[in-house]
Structure 1
């Protein structure tokens, strides 16, 4: 790979890293190498981190900001950060004539860390999209997906940040059913849950692959369908972290809430509403009641 390294200042670019939510998550099996097989319908919320690139001639660095960036140590912005790993992979995959530059990446961490809504994965996917554009790297979508797989199981689905069905260990993606207009509230109580421990605590038979329609006509139809599914990791997460169950109970009793469930391996939970405005109003009310929680409400993207 031959690329031009630029020294002249270039435009500042920004990319959103939307929160990933598992509307259901079935553990369908386990591979001989220990990885669990999943079936999940993934959607993306308006909430998210934001990645901004300030290009210049200095070596590429990462700076963390935002509500949750301040809680992370300096080492979190080093070469092991998924954003920096994504930059390194993209640099190596760039086409001849790419205009590679250094500079500063500013990651505004608005999403809770390690919380079951794909914050780190969404950040890595945003870095691939942003730098492919900024560097004129010319990396095709198929190659970007291959790079995303190297970064983590949730990164490929975050690359497009569109409703999708995710299977295998996250690498098998297909279009999800068309969603109706609806709203969502996201809540994280601030207590972390270990993903490996949640998987170890899971008991009982594997869940079957879900039978989904091609579309849902209304939010109620969506909820009726989702009620037949589950999150295989919700029960073990509640055993490990009882506050998750407290959050689910509160969400389920919010006025006009249609469904409450945990996303991913936790600890973030969500509630579905008929409209984004209902979700926003519910989130505002809940945030006043629980000022120490992270609460968001609004539309899906």
Structure 2
């Protein structure tokens, strides 16, 4: 059964502007992808989706799942019916956690069905299908560092990044993106959404962290107001000696901590696992693509 990693997405920075008349917010975000995530598999079958893993129970109804929606959109773009497919999703990422899990699952599914059932389907058409599925859809299709603008659909090349040793930490509760945006609008902390000056390539992890410290996630205060546990995680991470930079990803509730090397990540992880065993804590590297 062919399978692909659906890597966790992390917003290294996320600048969000005031809503347009249609209610959507323009954004500018540098996204990177982790070497961990969900796994999507596909084979000829009865058109089903089977989910397992620690977060499978949190998924919505099958017809609403982004994998199923991705298949429908692919078939519509292809313009002809396809054989029935059976998908298996190993759901390792928390639900509604700011890691783009659903979009990344859909991206992995799209690449699988293209490669297995329609290899002549070109990259531009595949990206158009992915973009139709939501703001993170196009970026999560390829799982490589990218600068996203507009509503997430305008992609341009990211600077060259070293692999970033990182710890992902989530306090547990799912976080509603609409609720975070409502709080954000009430706070009125809208940011500039043009790309910041950036080098062509970063030479070291410490250089990346220092540059990112000049940026922000504009949704962070709103996310904390919706789920105070995010603030507790950030306060903890920012007080630890191994952490070069700590920030929330997306609209929450996963926070990430960039460290200088893998040893620092391991040391930090062991301390936090003893301190807060109820938290979801995962070691990873950010960069991509990983397959």
Distance across 1 between alignment mates of 2:43 and 2:263 = 35
Match of 1:296 among 273, 279, 282: 282
Equivalent residues of 2:189, 2:218 under 8 A apart: no
Two-structure CA RMSD over aligned residues (Å): 1.7
Cα deviation, 1:34-62, whole Å, max 9, x if unaligned, reads: 10000100000112000011324xx3100
**Is the Cα–Cα contact under 8 Å of residues 69 and 133 in structure 2 kept in the other structure?**
yes
Task: Give the C-alpha shift of residue 182 in structure 1.
Answer: 2.5
Contact 2:98 2:254 in 1 (8 A): yes
Aligned to 1:8: none
Q: Could you list the runs of 5+ residues in structure 2 that have no partner in the other structure?
A: none
**Secondary structure of residue in 1 paired with 2:95:** coil
How far 1:137 sits from its partner (Å)?
A: 4.5
Aligned to 1:85: 69
SS in 2 for 1:258: strand
Q: Which has the higher contact order (CA 8 A, sep 6+)?
A: 2
Aligned to 1:48: 37
Q: How far apart, in 2, do the equivalents of 1:281 and 1:54 lie?
A: 41
- Does 1:68 pair with 2:55? yes
Distance 2:43 2:61 in 1: 16
SS, match of residue 36 in structure 1 = coil
Contact 1:20 1:43 in 2 (8 A): yes
Normalised by the length of structure 2, the TM-score is: 0.92
Per-residue CA deviation, residues 87-111 of structure 1 (Å, 9 max, x unaligned), is 1222233377x9x432421101100
Aligned residue in 1 for 2:28: 39
1:29 alignment partner, SS class: coil
1:78–1:169: structure 2 CA closer, same or farther, 3 Å change rule?
same
Measure, in 2, the Cα distance between the counterparts of 1:243 and 1:122: 25
Give the structure 2 partner of residue 250 of structure 1: 236
Alignment match, 2:256:
270
Distance 1:106 1:288, change over 3 A: farther
- Report if aligned partners of 1:94, 1:137 keep a CA contact under 8 Å in 2: no
Q: Tell me by how many angstroms 1:140 deviates.
A: 0.9
Give 1 or 2 for the bigger CA radius of gyration.
1
**What is the number of equivalent residue pairs in this alignment?**
283
Q: Which runs of 5+ in 1 are unaligned?
A: 1-11
Measure, in 2, the Cα distance between the counterparts of 1:28 and 1:225: 21
- Name the residue aligned to 1:129: 111
Where do 4+ consecutive residues of structure 1 move more than 3 Å? none
Matching residue within 105, 115, 124 for 2:87: 105
User: What is the TM-score of this pair, normalised by structure 1?
Assistant: 0.89
In structure 2, C-alpha distance between the alignment counterparts of 1:239 and 1:177, rounded to whole Å: 32
